[in-house]
Amino acid sequence: MDINTQIILVIIVTSLATFLSRFLGVLTSEKVKADSKVFQWFNYVAYATLAALLARMIIFPAGVLAEADLILRLIVLISCIMLFIITKKNLVLPTVFSAILLSLLSGL
């Protein structure tokens, strides 16, 4: 089997896995109540996983982010959280602001 056939096969298998899980989610979503305990638990697990990944990126960064000092990363994080709260949960402004602020502080 040549490399092109393998790539196509991998794309097909991953697409099927993705669309199958989405299809099953659509089928079962009518029976799940958004205010149920199970739904809330999955929501909490998703937020906890996201928080853990973000904490890992801040504390143990990889790539270019590792060149910035920990104190600079923490300053940017706290500033962006404050901006997020001030702008009533706007995600765009803190994201853009974090890149700009980290670039400026790293250059000093």
pLDDT of residue 38: 83
Instruction: Pick the closest to residue 87 from 75, 97, 102, 73 (CA basis).
Output: 97
d(CA 46, CA 23): 20
pTM for the model: 0.61
Question: Over its length of 108 residues, how does the chain's per-residue pLDDT go in tens digits?
Answer: 788 899 999 999 999 999 998 898 888 877 777 788 888 898 899 999 999 999 999 999 998 889 999 999 999 999 999 999 999 999 999 999 999 999 999 887
Angle at 48 between CA 34 and CA 65, to 5 degrees: 135
pLDDT of residue 85: 95
Q: Which amino acid is at 93?
A: L
pLDDT of residue 81: 94
Q: Which amino acid is at 73?
A: R
DSSP state of 33: -
pLDDT of residue 28: 81
